[in-house]
Amino acid sequence: MNILHYVTQKQEISPKLKKLKASCDAAVAAGSKGQDGACSSNSSTKSVTGAEALSVYDKDELQKRLSPVQYRVTQKLGTEKPFSGKYVHQKDEGQYNCVVCGTPLFASDVKYESGSGWPAFYDVISKDRVVLKEENLGGLQRMEVKCAECRAHLGHVFDDGPKPTGVRFCVNSCSLDFKKHTTV
């Protein structure tokens, strides 16, 4: 089982992930203006309507709005039990948004079965949507993934993902809100 593999393997943050962090930081700092050479076919309006940059949500409001597990994971750096999340095997086409602020984070076409028990994506919709943070818990070094808009904890990113990126965003289902694509 993969989990054992992750626990027993000594983990350090690889240069690849440090580079990814740097490019996410740069993208967030630059806002969504012309970063990454992304073709402008996607004309989605900037971020969440009316939300201030880095808006901080009231803890009481969040506790009411989110389920206990959603609150624990997104606000207290929790982790849902493997294979317990509702999106682990979700295969529908659509978009995964931040459960707290609604920012679009991951698209279904980069989701894959990692076997780890959590939804896995090999890319983000845009690098300015997430911030990465180096984390060191008792010698276990990991790269934490947070929502760039509201700083909700999403999960972690590892460097064992498939091509073309080679990275694996391992995200808690309860940090996400899936919106199915509707055919026009």
**26 near 120, Cβ under 8 Å?**
no
Identify residues 110-169 at the interface with Zn ion (CB under 5 A): 147, 149-150, 152
Q: Which is nearer to Zn ion, 148 or 167 (CB)?
A: 148
Identify residues 19-38 at the interface with Zn ion (CB under 5 A): none
Contact pick of 17, 27, 66, 101 for Zn ion (by CB under 5 A): 101
> What span, in angstroms and rounded, lies between the C-alpha atoms of 143 and 123?
15
> What span, in angstroms and rounded, lies between the C-alpha atoms of 107 and 93?
8
- For residue 170, indicate whether it is catalytic: yes
Q: Which is nearer to Zn ion, 99 or 167 (CB)?
A: 99
> What span, in angstroms and rounded, lies between the C-alpha atoms of 161 and 168?
4
Two structure tokens written together for 80? 């849902």
Could you tell me which stretch among 15-23, 34-42, 99-107, 156-164 binds Zn ion (CB under 5 A)? 99-107
Binding residues with Zn ion: total (CB under 5 A): 8
Distance, C-alpha 55 to centroid of its chain = 18
Could you tell me which stretch among 26-34, 50-58, 90-98, 167-175 binds Zn ion (CB under 5 A)? 90-98
Two structure tokens written together for 29? 């700092």
**Which of 129, 135, 116 has its CA nearest to residue 173?**
116
Q: Which is nearer to Zn ion, 151 or 168 (CB)?
A: 151
Catalytically annotated residues: 170
| Contact residues for Zn ion, defined by CB under 5 A | 98, 100-101, 103, 147, 149-150, 152
